[in-house]
Structure 1
């Protein structure tokens, strides 16, 4: 009888621990879901800054890293997304778009002074050196990579993704672009609010 009581107490203790762990996991999951919902509700790409020089529109958009994590991994395992975000929260991804106001192809010789193939190569491999970020602490961070999204003349714009590393997630940043391709000078895009205001 004593052994049965000990076993019953052990089972009750185990059940209590399991239920508490499940409650904590559920509360954490709910908290993560609410944060992502709020981030999605304000608009993933709501921080866009635009400048027009002559007839070319330059647009810089800071996209939260969670957007890309959710896009790649889905919403099934938000704890994994949260963990990946924590590992990569010092990274910043900026979308940069070039568009001619009359929707002409900007990579033609009339805009770049280069053959079309050379302009595409520059967008793919040379553009990285034209961008850097200045933090509110006056640190200068070079662009660590560029991905040129080829649209094969389907869309009326050219877009690149810019990657920056080692930036405090609470840091306000300013993107500086020295335009060597279209020769429009230096453009500055000041992002006023860091994404971590509502991020994980």
Structure 2
């Protein structure tokens, strides 16, 4: 009988331990919660307000400077502690999203708008368009576009979107995007991002 009463507290302790482990496994981690909270706050800061639109010959050209921290947060939600060190490594990079949309939501890569076959226009937007973009910084440096990612939407969305990547820009600099439109032949467009880049 004594043996039985002594073992009851240890059984209770074991059950409590198992229960607490189970509950903690089902709870989202603190770092994930922090990360989700940061992403939410970041979106609420209105970074999309850094959007600039030009309208020429029935085409809307919309450029948005996307803070690199936003991508880092979205891709590292499970390891929020990494975000700060990753930002330090990538602080001199800039990402600009540019969308092209016809007012009638026509497919802009058709030959009517580009004087190229559809296949040639797709290839141009996926690769060659990179050479049409440069950035001028507030320190008067001219930076060539280092990479582009054409987001294929297979005619689901009414616009064409390209992500542009630029390197070696002082994080404190404001930038001006210059686009020489060889694809739709609408001349030179300038997008002046005169706001200080967002911080975490």
- TM-score bracket for the superposition, by shorter chain length: 0.7 to 0.9
Q: Distance in 2 between matches of 1:123 and 1:40?
A: 28
State the partner residue of 1:183: 185
Stretch deviating more after TM superposition (37-46 or 177-186):
37-46
Determine which structure has more spread, i.e. the larger CA radius of gyration.
2
CA drift of 1:46 comes to 2.5
Q: Give the 3-state SS of the residue equivalent to 2:127 in structure 1.
A: helix
State the partner residue of 1:137: 139
Deviations 1:95-131 (A, max 9, x none): 0000001100000000000000000000011000000
Task: Report whether the alignment pairs 1:148 with 2:150.
Answer: yes
State the partner residue of 1:45: 48
The root-mean-square deviation of aligned C-alpha atoms, in Å, is 2.1
Runs of at least 4 residues off by over 3 Å: 31-38
Q: Distance in 2 between matches of 1:136 and 1:195?
A: 12
State the partner residue of 1:127: 129
Q: Distance in 2 between matches of 1:48 and 1:182?
A: 21
Unpaired runs of 5+ residues, structure 2, are: 1-33
Counting only pairs closer than 5 Å after superposition, residues 1-200 of structure 1 correspond to structure 2 as 38-74=41-77, 76-196=78-198, 199-200=199-200
Q: Distance in 1 between matches of 2:101 and 2:155?
A: 12
Unpaired runs of 5+ residues, structure 1, are: 1-30
Give the TM-score normalised by structure 2. Answer: 0.79
| Count of aligned pairs | 169
Give the TM-score normalised by structure 1. Answer: 0.79
State the partner residue of 2:11: none
CA drift of 1:34 comes to 7.9
Q: Give the 3-state SS of the residue equivalent to 1:189 in structure 2.
A: strand
Q: Distance in 2 between matches of 1:43 and 1:78?
A: 22
Q: Distance in 1 between matches of 2:40 and 2:160?
A: 30
